[in-house]
Amino acid sequence: MSESWVDACAADDVDAEDVIRFDRDGRTFAIYRTDDDRYFATDGWCTHEQAHLADGLVMDTIIECPKHNGRFDFTTGQAKGAPVCVDLQTYPVKVEGGRVFIQVG
């Protein structure tokens, strides 16, 4: 198990209750910031169809797929009902020195 942390973005790059995209080595992720400044990371693509979750709307700790209204709790990756039923992969996140790091494994 790799312990390598990857510098994804500045903490300020993500607005409160919002999400941005982060690409690395051919993989793509979504980096979330909650209203109370907690950070989370998941895979970027919705498990239902080809849409990037960074284009979706964050409400509380729920990310909605921008195309099909599929919903996930981004703190756990859990799918929250139709049309998605496959959970999202999540990744550990830490914030140090104003930067957001994710452990992509």
Partner 1 sequence: MTTRPIAIVGAGEAGTRAAIALRDHGYGGPLILIGEELHPPYERPPLSKAALTAEAEPSPSAIADAYRLADLRVERLAGARVTAIDRAEHRLVTSEHGGIDYERLLLATGARARQLRAPGGEHAILLRTYDEALALRRLLRPGARVVVVGGGFIGLELAASARERGASVVVLEAAPRILTRGVPADIAEKIAARHRRAGVEIVAGCAISYIARDGGAFSVALSDGRIFAADCVIAGVGAAPEVELAAAAGLAIDNGIAVNGRLQSSDPDIFAAGDCCSFPHALYDGRRVRLEAWRNAQDQGAFVARALIGASEDYAVTPWFWSDQYDLHLQISGLVDAGATVISRDLGEGAVLNFHLAEDGRLVAASAFGPIGKIAKDARVAEMLIAKRAKPDPAYLAAGERKLKALLAA
Chain positions contacting partner 1, by CB under 8 A: 17, 49-52, 54-57, 64, 66-69, 82-83
Q: CB 32 → partner 1: shortest distance, Å? A: 13
Closest CA to 39 of 5, 81, 2, 87: 5
Minimum CB separation of residue 55 from partner 1 in Å reads 5
Whichever of 56 and 77 has its CB closer to partner 1, that residue is 56
What DSSP letter does each residue of 18-66 carry, written as one string?
EEEEEEETTEEEEEEE-TTS-EEEEESB-SSSS-BGGGSPEETTEEE-T
> With respect to partner 1, which residue has the nearer C-beta, 40 or 101?
40
Q: Which is nearer to partner 1, 19 or 101 (CB)?
A: 19
Q: How far apart are CA 94 and CA 86, in angstroms?
A: 26
Closest separation in Å from C-beta 3 to partner 1: 32
